[in-house]
Chain A
Amino acid sequence: MNFSEAFKLSSLLCRFSPDGKYLASCVQYRLVVRDVSTLQIRQLYTCLDQIQHIEWSADSLFILCAMYRRGLVQVWSLEQPEWHCKIDEGSAGLVASCWSPDGRHILNTTEFHLRITVWSLCTKSVSYIKYPKACQQGVTFTRDGRYMALAERRDCKDYVSIFVCSDWQLLRHFDTDTQDLAGIEWAPNGCVLAVWDTCLEYKILLYSLDGRLLSAYCAYEWSLGIKSVAWSPSSQFLAVGSYDGKVRLLNHVTWKMITEFGHPAAINNPKIVVYKEVEKGPPLGLGRLSFPPPLPLAAPLSASESKYEIASVPVSLQTLKPATDRANPRMGVGMLAFSADSYFLATRNDNVPNTVWVWDIQKLRLFVVLEQLAPVRSFLWDPQQPRLAICTGGSKVYLWSPAGCMSVQVPGEGDFPVLSLCWHSSGDSLALLSKDHFCLCFLDTEEGVHTALEQRDSHA
């Protein structure tokens, strides 16, 4: 495993291009595009203000940079550096901006969710979509880029509109049986739309592409409901994480629950492997001993090396007592993600924040539990193989695969708190993002080592 040097970064804005060739990152108002293989700067664009959001177009030809404060979007072309495009939303304001799947339209959401403006880069035409709903996840595109589903709110009722992305024609418009729709998500096959209600009510609805209600599922009443939803890449399973600390798997044939995964704080099953991160004691040498000895609290947690140990069951995990009298209590399954091959599901129960649970979907049981020293900030699956990268805000990145797991210290002088991660589409490298730096982590492949060496040489 090799690491690149650290590059500057602001607001955690660092994205690999969808074709995997380039890496865009932002430093204040500058957009830097690098070649992934050499990490040489390929292009450098200067925006009008500090960039708050960037997104590659699906064909990797354009990058949009959104400056919400100014209500501005700037689009840059990689092939034609002189080409520019600036969209000003004016007094309407801007809260969100994204590409359409064809990479030729930009969807801008105005302040107060008054409307969504669809700007075309091909023609002068501008389309407006009224009444978008302000919610967690109100817009979703099918994977093939053909359709867009949009959550709407009209007359205190929720609706879903399905648009054809090629010409922004409304295909279907139907109301959903929800109190306060919270999110929508297409199945990867693009034929089923999952719609879930606000956390006050546990309700998930499944609609066909043509607007028919396929099924509705409600696990329980009266308590806080759904917190997170994820489709398996095979579209076979829909995992629903909820505030009761359980994940429920729905199948794609009957849309009924197959199984539910509880997240108990104590693990007794000896079949389950529990990896526990432990601090490696610094090697004691006479030269390193100092008087007075430094306080253990004074040293930052991330500075010390750590390793995984296999804890012997039964294991009780560190739990957090959630404050139930406050809004958005820290409890329930807030993060869940399927591996690319749909064989594994990783989850995090928010009141056991240090732990990642990996479930075996073939056997429908808990497979591995990883207990970190610090709360898990994010985890992401390798897009190519069942390999999970985890970061906890410390200067380490953790990798798990069915073969085992490891903790890797990010090298370099100074602290490098890894706040976020993103995988390269090939799964060979991983961008580690801290507050104002990022670096690339090349996983052990011939190419990765090669490029790293090359890059080091070029800098030398």
Chain B
Amino acid sequence: MGDWMTITDPGLSAESKNISQYTSETKMSPSSLYSQQVLCSSIPLSKNVHSFFSAFCTEENIEQSISYLDQELTTFGFPSLYEESKSKDTKRELNIVAVLNCMNELLVLQRKNLLAQENVETKNLKLGSDMDHLQNCYAKLKEQLETSRREMIGLQERDRQLQCKNRNLHQLLKNEKDEVQKLQNIIASRATQYNHDMKRKEREYNKLKERLHQLVMNKKDKKITMDVLNYVGRADGKRGSWRTGKTEARNEDEMYKILLNDYEYRQKQILMENAELKKVLQQMKKEMISLLSPQKKKPRERADDSTGTVISDVEEDAGELTRENMWDLSCETVREQLTNSIRKQWRILKSHVEKLDNQVSKVHLEGFNDEDVISRQDHEQETEKLELEIQQCKEMIKTQQQLLQQQLATACDDDTTSLLRDCYLLEEKERLKEEWSLFKEQKKNFEKERRNFTEAAIRLGLERKAFEEERASWLKQQFLNMTTFDHQNSENVKLFSAFSGSSDRDNLIVHSRTQQKKPHSVSNGSPVCISKLTKSLPASPSTSDFCPTRSCVSEHSSINVLNITPEETTPNQVGRECTNQKWSIASRPGSQEGCYSGCSLTYTNSHVEKDDLP
């Protein structure tokens, strides 16, 4: 209902605005809008036109009616129906054009008016229905109001009733309380009455008992007897004693003795307990001192006032302790000292612990908060990172695959395929490439060197040939001159002299040749090392193209190498066997060194082998 109203409201207001516009325009009556204004104001007139048109104009009064109309129209702002006369005397002529114009305008106005009227009528209808609706609403609301009013009255009534009930209940409670009180009183009075009666009865009973006693006991009852064969001895073997004052006193004494013994026993127990408790206290104190004193040193500034005294106290106490045994002196002063110092320390400890607690809780709280916040961020960051990584990895894999394919396509005929097949990572491939180029260079160098060597060898051969020829000639001469027995010795001598005079290259060859046998045997046992020093491939020396450069022939002298190899094996074993970490760590550098040296060794070996081959 309300909704409907809100929807219709703006329309209504717009229409009313239109109306107001019209009216205001008529009031202003500017010359530019005159036609509209006229029509608007003459709505009732146009309606009436048909009804009294016949009566208005007749044959006779055409002139008057025309003039009248003219007057009317001019007053409404229309141009005059008459032509403008040049002079006042001449009779004015009816201007047909003006009349027609007027009429046309009037007709247009009329149409517009009709339209407006229709609008207004529909508006009116709408408003009427709105009105009805509102009236309905009003009626409904009124009904509601009525019902709620009735409800309210009902509730009020109920409230009143409940209050009444409450009052009644209160009254009942009060009554019950009174009743309880009364009953209690009754019980009490009955109890007293009962007690009284009991007492009376008991007195009677006692009297009866007394009487019975007299009757039964005093009348020398023959039946009350004890018939014993013979009296037996006392359990303790003593004879019964007469009852005298002495025995009484003795009994008293004994009783007090028993009591005293009991109290002594209890006192002993309590003393023991006390001693134990004191011991515990003392121990606690000591522990507290030891616990608190190191802390004191750090936060001096805050604890100076309280702890300083305590510590001095403690020291005093300790001094006393050493001087005299405190346990036996259970005097109050000692006890007070002990308890006081303990109390003080306890307070300090407590405050300290509380402080710690606070700190911990703070840290905990903060930590929790931080962690909470960070964890989410972290989570996101982490996921982002991981995604990025995954992306990178994927790319890497792709490139690797491409490269691999390329490599396979290009290098399938190559000798290195076997090597490359084992390598998967891009970097490694690149590194391998680099290494490969390096190796190629090295190979070139080697080849150059080999060429040199071969050249040298050729030269040597030539020399040798020359030498042989020389020797032959010389031998011929010798043969001619001397016997053949001296031949061997003289050759050796000659050889040595020839070596000493030869070039560096020759020296190297001979040098390696001498070493050839020993390192060979060692190299079998030594592991093949992948050293970073040379950035070598995991290639074994058996690969056909493998050719280490001269630089790989390390600075180690061959003897040095031989010395190291046993070292390399032994520390490794120690490292393996020994569980002690230090040992294994200590052995590692040695083993590494060994590795390196082993590497160099293999190179030298290969070098030697290579050298030997041609």
Contact = CB atoms under 8 A, between A and B. Distances in A.
Interface of A: 58-59, 77, 82-92, 102-104, 112, 114-115, 117, 119-126, 130, 146-147, 153, 155-156, 164, 167, 169, 171, 179, 189-191, 208-210, 253
Interface string B238-275: 00110100011001101110110010000000100000
Contacts of A130: 213
B231 A124 contact: yes
B226 interface: yes
Contacts of A210: 255-256, 259
Interface stretch (B109-117, B217-225, B537-545): B217-225
Contacts of B252: 171
In the A-B complex, the 9 residue pairs with the closest CB atoms: A90-B223, A90-B224, A191-B262, A86-B227, A85-B228, A156-B199, A87-B226, A90-B221, A102-B235
Contact of B231 (A77, A122, A146, A209): A122
B224 A83 contact: no
B251 to A, nearest CB: 5
B525 interface: no
A208 B262 CA distance: 11
Contacts of B170: none
A56 to B, nearest CB: 13
Contacts of B199: 156
B2 interface: no
Contact of B243 (A112, A115, A167, A171): A167
B203 interface: yes
B3 to A, nearest CB: 61
B230 interface: yes
20 contacts: A59-B235, A84-B227, A85-B229, A90-B224, A92-B216, A92-B221, A103-B235, A114-B213, A114-B217, A117-B224, A130-B213, A146-B254, A155-B206, A156-B198, A164-B254, A171-B252, A171-B255, A189-B262, A209-B255, A210-B256
A102 B232 CA distance: 12
A71 to B, nearest CB: 8
A119 B226 CA distance: 8
Nearest to B198: A156
Given A104-B235, A115-B217, 19 more contacts: A83-B230, A85-B226, A86-B226, A87-B225, A89-B224, A90-B222, A90-B223, A90-B224, A91-B224, A114-B216, A122-B240, A123-B240, A156-B199, A156-B202, A167-B243, A167-B251, A191-B259, A210-B259, A253-B270
Given A171-B252, A171-B255, A189-B262, A122 B223 contact: no
Contact of A121 (B228, B236, B255): B228
Given A156-B203, A169-B247, A171-B251, A88 B225 contact: yes
B209 interface: yes
Nearest to B236: A102
B284 interface: no
A112 B231 contact: no
B323 interface: no
B212 interface: yes
Interface string B15-31: 00000000000000000
A152 to B, nearest CB: 12
A158 to B, nearest CB: 11
Given A59-B235, A122-B240, A209 B221 contact: no
B302 interface: no
Given A92-B221, A114-B209, A167-B240, A190 B230 contact: no
B234 interface: yes
A90 B256 CA distance: 40
B233 interface: yes
Query: Which of B226, B251, B254: most chain A CB closer than 10 A?
Result: B226
A169 to B, nearest CB: 6
Interface residues of B, number: 41
Contacts of B247: 167, 169
A124 B230 CA distance: 10
A252 B209 CA distance: 39
A123 B202 CA distance: 36
Given A169-B248, A171-B255, A84 B229 contact: yes
A209 B258 contact: yes
B219 to A, nearest CB: 9
Nearest to A100: B235
Interface string B498-523: 00000000000000000000000000
B209 A83 contact: no
Nearest to A172: B255
Nearest to B200: A156
Contacts of A115: 213, 217
Contacts of B231: 120-124
Contacts of A112: 209, 212
A54 B42 CA distance: 143
Nearest to B263: A191
Contacts of A156: 198-199, 202-203
A83 B259 contact: no
B224 A88 contact: yes
Contacts of B230: 83
A353 to B, nearest CB: 30
A242 B198 CA distance: 24
A169 B254 CA distance: 13
A122 B233 contact: yes
Contacts of B235: 58-59, 102-104
A120 B232 CA distance: 9
A119 B228 CA distance: 11
Contacts of A87: 225-227
A58 B199 CA distance: 39
B240 A209 contact: no
Contacts of A167: 240-241, 243, 247, 251
A118 B227 CA distance: 14
A124 B225 CA distance: 10
A208 B235 CA distance: 28
A88 B223 CA distance: 6
A306 B230 CA distance: 54
Interface string B177-219: 0000000000000000001001100110010010011001100
A164 B256 CA distance: 13
Contacts of A104: 232, 234-235
A208 B217 CA distance: 35
A91 B216 contact: yes
A164 B251 contact: yes
Contacts of A102: 234-236
Contacts of B251: 164, 167, 169, 171
Given A104-B235, A112-B209, A88 B243 contact: no
A45 to B, nearest CB: 13
A118 to B, nearest CB: 11
Contacts of A82: 229
Contacts of A171: 251-252, 255
A122 B221 contact: no
Contacts of A88: 223-227
A82 B216 CA distance: 32
Contacts of A83: 229-230, 232
Nearest to A147: B255
Contacts of B259: 191, 208-210
A196 B256 CA distance: 25
Contacts of A123: 231, 240
A164 B240 CA distance: 13
Interface in B472-486: none
A440 to B, nearest CB: 29
B311 to A, nearest CB: 37
Contacts of A114: 209, 212-213, 216-217
Contact of A92 (B224, B232, B233): B224
A210 B216 CA distance: 35
Contacts of A85: 226-229
B258 A190 contact: yes
Contacts of B258: 146, 190-191, 209
A381 B228 CA distance: 38
A279 to B, nearest CB: 48
